[in-house]
Amino acid sequence: MASYADHGSVEWVESGGGPLIAIPEGVLPFWTGADGDELATDYDRACDVDGFIGLLPVGNATALVLGDDPSATAYLPEHDTFVRWCAAESEVEVLAGVPAALDAAAWEGEVHWEIPGTVVLFDAAWPGNEAGRAGHLRITLDPGRYAVRAAYAEPGPETWLGLVQLRRLAH
């Protein structure tokens, strides 16, 4: 897989081929990734998520799985959105396409995600206590309940993006 990390204006997280997962920071030690003696590992649970997004219990919290595509992913706080780089010639094209993609997206059904605050996005194959050794993003979010929706959009003829948008819900 090509590395997008050198392109510079935002940080990207990549996976080795499976899903990415956003886990509340306080429960990272409970995520075992692909490690373990169990027949079905935490990584297997993440791979079983059908579609663009899903929720999995981790410790006493819930993690958000970004499934379906192992694309490099960044979080754009100005849009409250995870952007997944499916196809584009450059990071500039990806970022320039985000507003049009958000406007034209055909959103799938949403899920509701309760989080205690900061989450860490990383390759679901890694154990949570090793997420800092792998490529990861630490995303500061206000504690609370969020509506999460996902879509795939093509804002340009050769620019294809996955979008996972968060919207904080009122109490």
* Cβ burial 148-170 (10 Å sphere, 16+ → b, else e): bbbbbbebbeebbbbbbbbeeee
HEC letters along 44-86: HHHHCCCCCEEEEEECCEEEEEECCCCCEEEEECCCCEEEEEE
Q: Where are the domains of the chain?
A: 7-168
* Helix/strand/coil for 93: helix
Each of the 171 residues of the chain gets a pLDDT tens digit; together they read 334 444 568 999 998 888 999 999 999 999 999 986 667 899 999 999 988 999 999 999 999 999 877 889 999 999 999 999 999 989 999 999 999 999 999 999 899 999 999 999 999 999 998 877 778 999 999 999 999 999 999 898 899 999 999 999 987
- Comparing C-alpha atoms, which of 6, 166, 159 is closest to residue 76? 166
**pTM, entire model:** 0.90
CB 95 within 8 A of CB 75: no
The burial of 82, by beta-carbon neighbours within 10 Å (0-12 exposed, 13-18 middle, 19 or more buried), is given as buried
**What CATH architecture does domain 7-168 belong to?**
Sandwich (2.60)
Q: What angle do CA 162, 164, 165 make, to 5 degrees?
A: 135
Residue whose token pair is 């780089």: 85
Beta pairing class for 20-24 and 119-123: antiparallel
